[in-house]
Structure 1
Amino acid sequence: MTTDSTRRITTPFDAESSAAEVVAGIDLTGRRAVVTGASSGIGIETARALAGAGADVTLAVRDIDAGERIAQDITGTTGSRHLSVARLDLADQGSVAEFVAAWDGPLHMLINNAGVMYTPELRTPEGWELQFATNHLGHFALATGLHQSLADADRARIVALTSVGHLRQGMTFDDINFRNGPFDTVLAYGQSKTATVLFAIEASRRWAGDGITANAVHPGAVLTNLTRHMSQDELDKAVASGYTFKTPQQGAATSVLVATWPGLEGVGGRYFEDCNEARPHREGDSGGVAAHAQDPVAAERLWQVSLDMLAAAGRG
């Protein structure tokens, strides 16, 4: 495996690897994890793989009943009883604050998995565009709120889920909430996913001294609840453009690898897809990481803008 600072990180795994395969042989006993959006899709399989390796996993979900059912299912398949369920609605800053206030003790793995995609033009009570508010600001508030718990852990890792959709749109700092022009849900989603990559870069820069690393992960295309706002025509076009849909177990693999793989110790600010560090995006490619999502100046600016938005809402 290649892990030096100048070469692309590679692993023995690939697009077809499953979450169980990448965590096989790794003992997570005594380590605590939070998985947001763990009641559906790849969130379930991420939580299952971590629990199966011995971690104490908190399923952070909007629907407690659904979370409890998933926790029972994971216990049934892994034998783990180190599972808990807590309410978390990332679009609701009050809910994020309550989750943070209730958390006690160190946190070794924060998997920012939850998200929404291609929603209609919807806004939070603060006036924030829903996809940016959920995918970025909610997770930003969660991570910054749990910073001390991450710092108190031994070599904490943050996994920030992004998407190939980030290729569509960089940060539009003068109109983040799409107030000054026509709303475009695809561009809004792309911006929110660029933001998650920039968050990982800046979190790693700011928190490296606390032993915290953060990396961005594109899980690949998986048919889950996330795609519910996509039409069949859009799904067909995705296949035609070169997408191969993964199973949820395969979709969770890159998240689990980045959260647990021993060879990634101390590695932060990178972008992973198909269980390996991604190459820079090139025109005509269906993957890779865009230059606008690797800009450290934009990453630092986004961090401050996010702080300012939370402060203006009385959450800073």
Structure 2
Amino acid sequence: MTTRITTPFTATSTAAEVAAGIELSGRRAIVTGASSGIGAETARTLAGAGAEVTLAVRNPAAGEHVAQDIIAGTGNKQIHIAVLDLADQTSVAAFAAAWQGPLHILVNNAGIMGVPATHTPDGWELHFATNHLGHFALTTALHPALATAGDARVVSVSSSQHRLSPVVFDDLHFQRRPYDAHAAYGQSKTANALFAVEAAQRWAGDGIAVNAVMPGVVRTNLMRHVDRDLLAQFEASGAPALPWKTAEQGAATSVLLATSPLLAGIGGRYFEDCNEAEPLRPDNLHGGVAAYAQDPDQAARLWQVSTDLLADS
């Protein structure tokens, strides 16, 4: 039985607080989905610590706005914009092919949530295609750059909503079951957690640490497809209040995993509120990690299935 990892930081810690005193000069980072919300704050904090940061975004104009804001706020001019559409494997391949040199930090932050039933031209359900397969293809393509760095960190941003669904290998793309946006999102977030389990095991010998994080509940563009009436009903129902965080607090766990010496050599774990999550319990409605999201056999199966899907695309 492994020992649960804890740190001095908590749910209210900010990204700046967990990165205080950490020097990242000479280190290179990529943050996907960095044009707003948690991604932008993650990029801002890494830049503030001296890292060269590439904002991997679908909308270059939005990315440029964030980049200029980061440069103005940190004085770090090593901020770059690169177009990346995770739902488009051609875009993912082009982004990875253009990367030159080592990569020390990769934060797989981008995601979609609650979209109507949509499939890519390959027939992949859009949550799974974007949140998991896009990041899977990106990270595996960037493996040589991560291995060259010698001491690289990969952060796979999951969600407490992984509890809504395991990975349903018999029907990944909702071809035989009724489509449910919540289940689709949950499945993709379980996949994000399982990716960290298998990648950490495969790549430990390359000096690459891979972990999953639950950033917390933050009002960002990710929630633009969520039914506002449903959310209001939940909040008025008497259920335990959603533990809302600011974007600065939401980015803290990602930044901790990406930078902190406290977590050197740690891989394959799932973190929330700046500490390793405890096992899921019925009395914890907003935290904890489901056993199926940490299952090494499920993780290995997902890796093979993902590799096969990409090979056939």
Q: TM-score scaled to structure 1, two decimals?
A: 0.96
Rounded Cα–Cα distance in structure 2 between residues aligned with 1:237 and 1:178 = 27
1:121 aligns with 2:117: yes
1:148 aligns with 2:144: yes
1:87 aligns with 2:83: yes
Give the corresponding residue for 2:162.
166
SS in 1 for 2:218: coil
Rounded Cα–Cα distance in structure 1 between residues aligned with 2:134 and 2:227 = 27
Rounded Cα–Cα distance in structure 2 between residues aligned with 1:237 and 1:272 = 29
8 Å contact from structure 2 (residues 210, 267) kept in 1: yes
1:295 aligns with 2:290: no
1:196 aligns with 2:228: no
How far has the Cα of 1:238 moved from its partner? 5.2
Q: TM-score scaled to structure 2, two decimals?
A: 0.97
Quick one: which amino acid aligns to residue 281 of structure 2? R
Rounded Cα–Cα distance in structure 2 between residues aligned with 1:143 and 1:285 = 32
Quick one: which amino acid aligns to residue 249 of structure 1? E
Give the corresponding residue for 1:247.
246
Rounded Cα–Cα distance in structure 2 between residues aligned with 1:234 and 1:205 = 40
Give the corresponding residue for 1:187.
183
Give the corresponding residue for 1:270.
269
SS in 2 for 1:213: strand
Rounded Cα–Cα distance in structure 1 between residues aligned with 2:214 and 2:233 = 19
Rounded Cα–Cα distance in structure 1 between residues aligned with 2:199 and 2:150 = 17
1:8 aligns with 2:4: yes
- Matched-pair identity in %: 63
Rounded Cα–Cα distance in structure 1 between residues aligned with 2:175 and 2:53 = 39
The superposition leaves residues 234-270 of structure 1 with CA deviations (integer Å, 9 ceiling, x where unpaired) of 3235543331110100000000001001010110000
Unaligned runs of 5+ in 1: none
Rounded Cα–Cα distance in structure 1 between residues aligned with 2:256 and 2:182 = 28
SS in 1 for 2:53: strand
Give the corresponding residue for 1:218.
214
8 Å contact from structure 2 (residues 150, 206) kept in 1: no
Quick one: which amino acid aligns to residue 146 of structure 2? L
Count of residues in correspondence between the two structures: 309
Rounded Cα–Cα distance in structure 1 between residues aligned with 2:301 and 2:292 = 13
- Segments of 4+ in structure 1 off by > 6 A? none
1:34 aligns with 2:33: no
The superposition leaves residues 121-179 of structure 1 with CA deviations (integer Å, 9 ceiling, x where unpaired) of 01111110000000000000000000000000031010000001101100100100000
Rounded Cα–Cα distance in structure 2 between residues aligned with 1:237 and 1:14 = 29
Rounded Cα–Cα distance in structure 2 between residues aligned with 1:230 and 1:175 = 24
The superposition leaves residues 74-120 of structure 1 with CA deviations (integer Å, 9 ceiling, x where unpaired) of 01111110100000000000000000010000000000000000110
Rounded Cα–Cα distance in structure 2 between residues aligned with 1:237 and 1:176 = 30
The superposition leaves residues 257-292 of structure 1 with CA deviations (integer Å, 9 ceiling, x where unpaired) of 010010101100000000110000011212100011
Give the corresponding residue for 1:209.
205
1:228 aligns with 2:224: yes
Rounded Cα–Cα distance in structure 1 between residues aligned with 2:230 and 2:6 = 32
How far has the Cα of 1:295 moved from its partner? 0.6
Rounded Cα–Cα distance in structure 1 between residues aligned with 2:196 and 2:183 = 20
Unaligned runs of 5+ in 2: none
Equivalent position to 1:137, from 128, 133, 137: 133
Bigger shift: residues 231-240 or 41-50: 231-240
Rounded Cα–Cα distance in structure 2 between residues aligned with 1:196 and 1:228 = 21
SS in 2 for 1:214: strand
8 Å contact from structure 2 (residues 120, 129) kept in 1: yes
Give the corresponding residue for 1:312.
312
State the superposition RMSD in angstroms: 1.0
Rounded Cα–Cα distance in structure 2 between residues aligned with 1:192 and 1:284 = 24
The superposition leaves residues 32-83 of structure 1 with CA deviations (integer Å, 9 ceiling, x where unpaired) of 0000000011000000000000000000000111111110000111111010
Give the corresponding residue for 1:256.
255
Give the corresponding residue for 2:16.
20
Quick one: which amino acid aligns to residue 274 of structure 1? D
SS in 1 for 2:135: helix
Gap change, CA 1:211 and 1:237, over 3 Å in 2: farther
Rounded Cα–Cα distance in structure 1 between residues aligned with 2:232 and 2:34 = 27
